Structure 1
């Protein structure tokens, strides 16, 4: 084996090492990409739930106001009825 063969073998080993490193980087980046997609989906669901909760709280406030109004009317009507 002469010097040129040793250099060629070393270059081949180095290329194999670079390929292995690139594969590990690819797998790591693929995992990060999947995690990012999951986070994006979770964020979208969280926004929808937040909006729905806001709407429900608003509807609950409106219902409470309506109940208070009806209770006020009931008190007025009860005061108009002579008590026995």
Structure 2
């Protein structure tokens, strides 16, 4: 029975080593999962910022066009005013 006890203890130690490797793999995968979730969140934020920037650039173009229009109207009004001289 001593040989069977040695085999049982060896098998138990081997299963313990396998369990340890599996736990370490699980911790590594958990870290990878966390990195993947962080990446997904960062991509979402980048898309939101990109949309906001696009909207702001569009609003800025509209404001510049409005300013140009007001400047043209101002020039027309200045030309209509009589000049003293």
CA distance in 1 between counterparts of 2:83 and 2:39 reads 64
Aligned CA RMSD, in angstroms, stands at: 1.0
Structure 2: which 5+ residue stretches go unaligned? none
Aligned length: 84
Q: Counterpart of 2:29?
A: 29
Cα offset, 1:64, TM superposition: 0.2
Q: Counterpart of 1:65?
A: 65
The runs of at least 4 consecutive aligned structure 1 residues that moved more than 4 Å come to none
CA distance in 2 between counterparts of 1:52 and 1:30 reads 33
Structure 1: which 5+ residue stretches go unaligned? none
CA distance in 2 between counterparts of 1:42 and 1:83 reads 61
Q: TM-score, normalised by structure 1?
A: 0.94
1:77 aligns with 2:77: yes
CA distance in 2 between counterparts of 1:83 and 1:53 reads 45
Cα offset, 1:38, TM superposition: 1.1
- Residues 19-56 of structure 1, C-alpha deviation per residue, up to 9 Å, x if partnerless? 00000000111111111111111111110111011001
Cα offset, 1:12, TM superposition: 0.5
Q: TM-score, normalised by structure 2?
A: 0.93
